[in-house]
Amino acid sequence: MVRFALPAEAPCTHTIATSDSLHAVVNSGGVICLEPGVHRLGGRPLQITGPPTVWRSSDSSNPATISGGAQLLDWYPCTDRTCPPGYGGAFTHSMKGIDAGMLPVRQLWVAGVRATRRTVAGAALNLSFPHGGFAFNGAAPGWLASAGADEVEIRWPSVIENWIEPRCVVSSVNVSAKAMLLDAGCYANLEARIGNNQRPRPDGAFFENVAGPPRAGEFHATRSAVFYRPLGGTASPPRDAWVPIQELLLEGSGLRGHTFDNVGFEYSTARQPSAPGGYVETQSAVLQNAPCPPHGCEPRGAVSLGASRNVSFLGCRFRHMGSVYALAIGGGSRGVVVRGCHFSDLSGGALKLASVGVDDGNARALSNDTAQWDSDYVVEENVVERAALEWRGASALFAGYVARLSLQHNSISEVGYTGISLGWGWGRVHSFARDNHVRHNRLSGVMRALNDGNARRLEPGAEHAAGSGPGAA
């Protein structure tokens, strides 16, 4: 990771140990120095609205981390008394004490390695597709009975469109009819996305979080427990195991002069597939849901800032993220710098800048009021690796309607979809976007999961793809 020299550092106003509460000082201003180690948020995001603040690690050689995870310390080996039959060699952990809204858990990390959700291919299940869901033509598997309670999740990679992977959960089952129903809102959104009165089909789909003996490195979760089989066939219980218990780690609005220097962020999640309407996207993880969720159809970041000025992220680390984007900044922000940061092991994209107009009817994009514009962003010398592992339609670096963006000297590798996406509107929206520069970036291993993307997608006025505006390069 590239580190950048900063002006002479002001002394710490607050020094925060890992046992202290970050929430108590979040809006106190000054210089907040975080001592080495993991600073757990306990399920509550930091809500920042206060005066100019510098957040930095007190020891630059041993950076501090802000975490939205819960550590799992009490694993038990699977026996006939603790697990269903056939689970020998796996381990189980209770979910007692974790907020019900975060259950069943979507992600699990063990010793820094992302565990794989137990998955079954729809093509192997011999399913018909009556309206509203699916039914088994032959014998139903044992996991059907718990599919609704466990929120078995169905995804369609490059099936409905090449560049998206919608997700819906099973909401209820009829065991006697050997049938399962999807969330009604998600099913309706899928039908609208497909069009032509076509129904979502099981072929090409995958069923996640299916109950059954996990293979090495796999897990599945219920509302009361998680079941995991260690890699390498070890008989020892998992160590350093974490599940994310919050969607947002930090949220800020109207910030002025905030700097995050050499701070780590880890363990977030996203619950949209389990919410009414599910997860049905247009492109780059922007939802097509009707109606939009309460937070809007634009994807959020684990760290989300809006309407802010002169905000910098310098040498920060974002890893083990389950959110749709790790960092999102928009809402008419300007003077934003993201420099020398390292993004790795991300369920979705690394960085989302500005908006695409779906939540305000393009009011900001078409505004002549420069105070409403997202502008003057610098994104340089960042590293993104292993991104869009779960929300595979998310672009690694995604910018909507923005002016005077400099995006250069970034390294992007191993991503599910497009590496850099700039602009929106497909040439139909004459927005304020202009003078954006994308140059000298290194991209490799893009579109590892979905199709019809590119290393770079630049809208008309730049190269290819919608509304980057005049002066783009």
Dump pLDDT digits (tens) for 173-217. 999 999 999 999 999 999 999 998 889 999 999 999 999 999 999
pLDDT at residue 453 greater than cutoff 60: no
pTM tops 0.85, yes or no = yes
- Percent of the chain residues topping a pLDDT of 70: 93
Mean pLDDT of 119-128: 96
Tokens of 275: 């919410």
**What distances in angstroms separate CA 77 from CA 63, 90, 205, 234, 240, one per listed residue?**
35, 6, 32, 11, 16
Could you give the CA distance from residue 102 to residue 108 in angstroms, rounded to a whole number? 13
Mean pLDDT of 315-344: 98
pLDDT of residue 469: 56
pLDDT of residue 197: 84
Cα 118–chain centre separation: 19
Q: Model confidence at 3, in pLDDT bands (50, 70, 90)?
A: very low
**What distances in angstroms separate CA 160 from CA 189, 192, 208, 398, one per listed residue?**
12, 11, 18, 22
Could you give the CA distance from residue 431 to residue 433 in angstroms, rounded to a whole number? 5
Q: What are the boundaries of each domain within the chain?
A: 14-68+246-458, 72-241
The residue with greater pLDDT, 248 or 446, is: 248
pLDDT of residue 233: 77
Mean pLDDT of 36-46: 97
Mean pLDDT across the chain, nearest whole number?
92
pLDDT of residue 456: 53
pLDDT at residue 325 greater than cutoff 60: yes
Condensed to tens digits (0 to 9), the pLDDT of residues 266-320 reads: 999 999 999 999 999 999 999 999 899 999 999 999 999 999 999 999 999 999 9
pLDDT of residue 467: 42
Three state DSSP letters for the chain: CCCCCCCCCCCCCEEECCCCCHHHCCCCCEEEEECCEEEECCCCCEEECCCCEEEEECCCCCCEEEECEEEECCCEECCCCCCCCCCCCCEEEECCCCCHHHCCCCCCEECCEECEECEEEHHHCCEECCCCEEEECCCCCHHHHHCCCCCCEEECCCCCCCCCCCEEEEEEEECCCCEEEECHHHHHHHHHHHCCCCCCCCCCCEEECCCCCCCCCEEEECCCEEEECCHHHCCCCCCCEEEECCCCCEEEECCECCEEECCEEEEECCCHHHCCCCECEEECCEECCCCCCCCCCCCCEEEEEECCEEEEEECCEEEEECCCEEEEEECCCEEEEEECCEEEEECCEEEEECECCCCCCCCCCCCCCHHHCCEEEEEECCEEEEECCCCCCCCCEEECECEEEEEECCEEEEECCCCEEECCCCCCCCCCCECCEEECCEEECCCCCCCCCCCEEECCCCCECCCCCCCCC
Q: Residue 415 burial (CB < 10 Å; 0-12/13-18/19+)?
A: buried
Q: What is the CATH number of domain 14-68+246-458?
A: 2.160.20
Could you give the CA distance from residue 283 to residue 328 in angstroms, rounded to a whole number? 16
Could you give the CA distance from residue 405 to residue 153 in angstroms, rounded to a whole number? 38
Q: Model confidence at 458, in pLDDT bands (50, 70, 90)?
A: low
pLDDT at residue 447 greater than cutoff 70: yes
pLDDT at residue 6 greater than cutoff 60: no
pLDDT at residue 372 greater than cutoff 70: yes
pLDDT of residue 471: 54
Mean pLDDT is lowest, of 209-213, 252-256, 426-430, for: 426-430
Q: Which among 265, 365, 371, 274 has a CA at the least distance from the CA of 313?
A: 265
Q: Model confidence at 234, in pLDDT bands (50, 70, 90)?
A: confident
Q: Model confidence at 4, in pLDDT bands (50, 70, 90)?
A: very low
Mean pLDDT is lowest, of 46-60, 162-176, 422-436, for: 422-436
pLDDT of residue 53: 95
The residue with greater pLDDT, 140 or 429, is: 140
